[in-house]
């Protein structure tokens, strides 16, 4: 179901929020859905169930535009991404079913716990990768285990997408970083995975949730220009010497948002 909510004064900040989320979502990977849910629930005050499906619909254009731009620049590993996406489709349907049985406050709390956990996992992975760089033999021995982790990360991402409407950014990024892909390749591939996951999650939620088209319109008015600009900026940034810093910042933000969602 779809509806148009009455425009409140605070809604006029949504295009700016969408621009920022779209910009950094395509620079850091993930499409920005992770940030839409907290914005809609904590700032706008939208009901959690409405925020989930609205976040998914608002995220999808960012993922599509960002994925297309990164594909053109060669920042995409389709083969690796397909493993995540196939298992993610199954997870998306499972997540949509789970969301119907979770009360709004519990949904926010679980989302916060998940965000803190995944953020912590990414921080640990950064430390592990730094250790691997000093021991090339150990790094090579660990590489095969990453292939076993891909379907698990993809399925978890799908569940998160269907349950929280966040496009499953964190598990996808964590899995791709664990696969030892370069930062730019991680970002582009994650957007490809999220296009697939988010599309199926929207379909699963469509008949069960309520999509606020007012919020979607205002968010995408800013997020689409941001998604177009993000890959252009990224192509001019040398990430080789700043991979750890990028991951630390992203993971720290996830942990902080998670804590806020738990206590709010």
Per-residue model confidence (pLDDT) at position 2: 76
Q: What is the pLDDT of residues 32-60, one digit of tens each?
A: 677 788 888 888 888 877 788 888 888 88
In eight-state DSSP terms, residue 8 is P
- Report yes or no: 62 and 26 within 8 Å, Cβ to Cβ: yes
pLDDT at 155 over 60: yes
Total domains present in the chain: 1
- Where in the sequence is the domain holding 68, given as residue range(s)? 2-263
pLDDT at 185 over 50: yes
Cα–Cα distances in angstroms (integers) from residue 46 to residues 9, 162, 215, in the given order: 14, 18, 10
For the segment 133-140, the average pLDDT, to the nearest whole number, is 51
For the segment 161-187, the average pLDDT, to the nearest whole number, is 78
With vertex at residue 211, the alpha carbon angle to CA 151 and CA 36, rounded to the nearest 5 degrees, is: 60
Around Cβ 25, how many Cβ atoms within 10 Å?
A: 31
Residue 183 C-beta-side C-alpha neighbours within 13 Å: 21
Tokens at 40, concatenated: 């809609």
Please tell me the chain's helix, strand, coil percentages from 3-state DSSP, rounded to the nearest 5: 80, 0, 15
Cα–Cα distances in angstroms (integers) from residue 33 to residues 30, 55, 124, 238, in the given order: 7, 6, 23, 25
Q: What is the pLDDT of residues 90-116, one digit of tens each?
A: 888 888 778 777 777 787 788 888 888
Q: How confident is residue 145, by pLDDT bands cut at 50, 70 and 90?
A: very low
Beta bridge mates, 3: 212
pLDDT at 9 over 60: yes
Enter the pTM of the model. Answer: 0.72
Nearest to 213, CA basis, from 71, 13, 9, 14: 14
Q: What is the pLDDT of residues 233-263, one digit of tens each?
A: 777 766 555 556 666 777 787 788 788 888 8
Distance, CA of 250 to CA of 28 (rounded, Å): 8
């Amino acid at each position: 179901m779809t509806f148009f909510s009455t425009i409140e004064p605070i809604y006029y900040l949504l295009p700016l929020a969408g621009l920022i989320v779209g910009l950094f979502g395509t620079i850091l990977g993930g499409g920005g859905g992770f940030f839409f849910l907290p914005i809609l629930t904590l700032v706008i005050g939208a009901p959690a169930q409405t925020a989930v499906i609205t976040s998914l619909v608002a995220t999808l254009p960012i993922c599509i535009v960002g994925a297309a731009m990164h594909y053109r620049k060669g920042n995409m590993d389709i083969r690796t991404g397909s493993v995540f996406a196939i298992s993610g489709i199954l997870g998306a349907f499972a997540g949509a079913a789970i969301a119907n049985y979770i009360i709004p406050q519990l949904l926010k709390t679980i989302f916060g716990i998940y965000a803190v956990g995944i953020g912590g996992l990414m921080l640990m992975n950064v430390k592990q990768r730094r250790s691997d760089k000093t021991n090339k033999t150990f790094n090579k021995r660990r590489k095969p285990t990453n292939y076993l982790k891909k379907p698990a990360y993809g399925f978890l991402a799908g569940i998160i997408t269907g349950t929280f409407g966040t496009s499953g950014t964190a598990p996808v990024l964590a899995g791709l970083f664990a696969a030892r892909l370069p930062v730019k390749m991680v970002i582009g591939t994650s957007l490809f995975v999220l296009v697939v996951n988010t599309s199926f999650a929207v379909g699963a939620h469509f008949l069960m949730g309520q999509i606020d088209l007012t919020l979607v319109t205002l968010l995408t008015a800013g997020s689409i220009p941001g998604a177009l600009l993000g890959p252009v900026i990224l192509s001019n940034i040398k990430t080789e010497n700043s991979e750890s810093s990028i991951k630390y910042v992203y993971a720290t933000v996830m942990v902080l948002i998670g804590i806020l969602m738990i206590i709010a």
